[in-house]
Amino acid sequence: MRRLRRRRELFPPDRGLQARMVAAAVGTPLLVLASLAAVVALLPGRILGAVALAAVLGSVMAVRARKRLDRARLLGAGEEPELRAVVERLCVVGDLPRPEIALDDERQPNSWMVDLPGRPPRLHVTRGLLDVLDGPELEAVVAHELSHLANRDATVMTVAGWPGAMLLEGGRSMMRGWWWVAVGAAVAAGIGLLSRAGTNALSRYRELSADAGAAALTGRPSALASALVKVSGTLDRLPARDLRAVAGRDAFHLMPVEDPRSDRAGRDDRHPLLRRLGATHPTLEVRLAALERLERKMGAARPGATGLV
């Protein structure tokens, strides 16, 4: 009972997050099914066949992507002792199950949590992240990812987002060809984009909730703020081709990689509404402001704290 009480104190129920999780888990698949029903009822057979082909192709791509994740190298005994110690310590403090730890050999500094039903959770960190962050910052990032585990939102994101992602990726890969193939691909991609708008709304909120969980778990919002600033600055300096290669995971990343539709100065020529619907994360400024508020609140219990650095 004491351990359960500790977890509830660190991760109190977030009604806003829970409501969005229910909406994503129920509403997003229903939206995809309703859109497909309209396609069957209204579009001619050849275009319908192209949509079905996009769904099949997207399923194959999703399976391949899952296999690539499954092949990520799990840390062996004695590897990355600092990272392993941080994970174990925070899991004890938060009374959380210990995830598997996978090290991805990527330059971009990032992390994400995969939590599929019936399988052990897996924390992914990139080599770039370990190279960029110091000890307290790494602890704050791990706490952020463990908060996703505590809130159970990683499972909802994976399951609810799969149908739309399947249609979107399959449609994008079929845009060239006969006119009816191109139209069917565009319809499939459009349904996928509608679905992604719903899961992105959950994604943006869950990042703020995980930031708050990390602050509670470590007691140092400033460390997470520093980590976010470092990661963002490093991403800005990486080649766009490197970032496009991992952009498909953005809804799960600690920080989104640079949008390939933006130039290197960060400008984006999309309509503000489309930019908002397409965003997987709140802006860095919004996250830093929320962490600043948490730092001030915790400062009452830590005389002498001066805020984020």
Residues marked as catalytic: 145
Segments of the chain assigned E as strands: 73-74, 100-104, 111-114, 122-126
Measure the CA–CA gap between 7 and 17, rounded to whole angstroms.
17
Query: Which SS3 state, helix, strand or coil, does residue 263 take?
Result: coil
Query: Which SS3 state, helix, strand or coil, does residue 286 take?
Result: helix
Half-sphere exposure of 189 (CA within 13 A, CB side): 13
Which residues have C-beta within 8 Å of that of residue 251, sequence separation ≥ 6? 157, 161, 199, 200, 203, 280
Measure the CA–CA gap between 149 and 165, rounded to whole angstroms.
22
**Quick one: tokens of 160?**
């609810």
